[in-house]
Amino acid sequence: MSRPSFEDLLALMTRLRAPGGCPWDREQKMEDLRPFIIEEAYEVTHAIDAGDRDSLREEVGDMLLQAVFVSEIAREEGSFDIHDAIEAIHEKLVRRHPHVFADVIANDAETVLSNWEKLKSEERAAKKEGILSGVPTSLPALLKAQRLTEKAARIGFDWRRDEDVLEKLDEEVGELREEVGAGDRERLADEIGDILFTIVNLARRFEVDAENALQRSNAKFTRRFEHVESSLRASGTSFEEASLEEMDRLWDEAKSRGL
């Protein structure tokens, strides 16, 4: 039996949406797919982080299904189909790789990125779009901050020195301390947001992915907290009965074990 082709997948999706197909698939509208698209993207990244290629194979298929699903709904609307989407990305890749398909020279990744941003700027200018317009509004806040500052930095809107960002961070922390005393929760939220935004800038300048860095810290916190939890459970002690000093001791024990 031959392996299913891409065209087979398209035909399957059309069948599911057709009269007599799946009632759930037939009910879905474009906006209904948003949470599934986001979820599948996260599941793909989770499989990559876990190094689980079997899971990754399945998750890539699930993500591909979402692209096919959206395109099928668009085809039914008469706006575009999956082949139009493939044509669009094919043309974009050729256009943005003149060092491969034309006579532009780019011998390193930095030059490629610089040329890519220049071409994107020209495309935005032709559409009368701003420099930041290509950053999706629905991105997670931390990732969105990094993308916004990357785009601004590529056209020269950036601090001159790493030390300047550290000084800005100190300034923002000082402003937060003032607001803590005032007790205005709205202004507190603003200052905490400013601190997070500054830290993202700092991560970018040191070529650290802020989203991945925070995920690593999340994982580290989880491992150490679970050690505290399991140790208390083993001793027959509940969280309510344990003192903060005892929990701190177990936390330090987890750190010393490299958790």
Same fold flag, 6-95 and 137-208: yes
Cα separation, 223 vs 231, in Å, equals 12
The predicted-structure confidence for 22-71, as pLDDT tens digits, reads as follows 999 999 999 999 989 989 998 998 899 889 999 999 999 999 999 999 99
Instruction: Specify the pLDDT at position 136.
Output: 85
| Region of 156 on the Ramachandran plot (φ > 0 left; ψ -120 to 50 alpha; else beta) | left
Second-level CATH architecture of 137-208: Orthogonal Bundle (1.10)
Calculated CA dihedral for residues 1, 8, 54, 66, nearest 10 degrees: -170
Domain-by-domain residue ranges, the chain?
6-95, 98-130, 137-208, 212-256
The predicted-structure confidence for 236-255, as pLDDT tens digits, reads as follows 999 899 999 999 999 999 99
CA distances 111 to 83, 114, 207, 208, Å, are 31, 5, 16, 20
Instruction: Specify the pLDDT at position 128.
Output: 81
Instruction: Specify the pLDDT at position 137.
Output: 85
> How many CB atoms are located within 10 Å of the residue 73 CB?
17
Neighbour-count burial of 209, counting CB atoms closer than 10 A to its CB (0-12 exposed, 13-18 middle, 19+ buried): middle
How would you write the pLDDT of the chain (259 residues) with one tens digit per residue? 789 999 999 999 999 999 999 999 999 999 999 989 989 998 998 899 889 999 999 999 999 999 999 999 999 999 999 999 999 999 999 999 999 998 888 888 888 888 887 888 788 778 888 888 888 888 888 889 999 998 888 888 899 999 999 999 999 999 999 888 887 889 999 999 999 999 999 999 999 989 889 989 999 999 999 999 999 999 999 989 999 999 999 999 999 999 8
> How many CB atoms are located within 10 Å of the residue 120 CB?
17
Cα separation, 166 vs 229, in Å, equals 36
DSSP 4: P
Instruction: Specify the pLDDT at position 231.
Output: 95
Instruction: Specify the pLDDT at position 133.
Output: 83
Length reported for the chain? 259
Provide DSSP, 16-47. Answer: HHSTTS-HHHHH--GGGGHHHHHHHHHHHHHH
Helix intervals (H) in 51-140: 53-77, 82-95, 98-101, 109-127
CATH number of the 6-95 domain: 1.10.287.1080
